[in-house]
Amino acid sequence: MKFRLLVVLGCLLLNGCAPTVKPWEKGILAEPHMQLGGGDGIRKVNEHVFSSKEGSFGGGGIGGGGCGCN
C-alpha cells in the first residue's frame, strides 16, 4: 500500500515539470497580445472603472513624482 502511494506521489511530482522556454521562443512571449494587461479595450474599461470608483482619472502611464526630480 505504501509503495503504491509513493509511486502515485512520484508520478504527480514528475508530471509538474515543464520544459523551459527556448531563447528563440521568447520573442513570441514579448508580443503585445501576450502581455498580462490585455488590449486597449480592456485598458480603457479598467481606467473607466478606476475613475468611477476613485473619483479621479489619469496617472495610468509612467511618470515621475511631483517633486520635479524626474
The DSSP string of 4-67 is HHHHHHHHHHHHT--PPPPGGGHHHHTSGGGSTT--HHHHHHHHHHHHHHHS-----S----TT
pLDDT at 65: 54
* Predicted confidence (pLDDT) at residue 4 exceeds the cutoff of 80: yes
CA 55 to chain CA centroid, nearest Å: 27
- pLDDT (0 to 100) of residue 57: 60
Which residues 6+ apart lie within 8 Å of 57 measured at CB? 47, 50, 51
Q: Taking the complete model, does pTM exceed 0.75, yes or no?
A: no
Confidence of residue 61 (pLDDT cuts 50, 70, 90): low
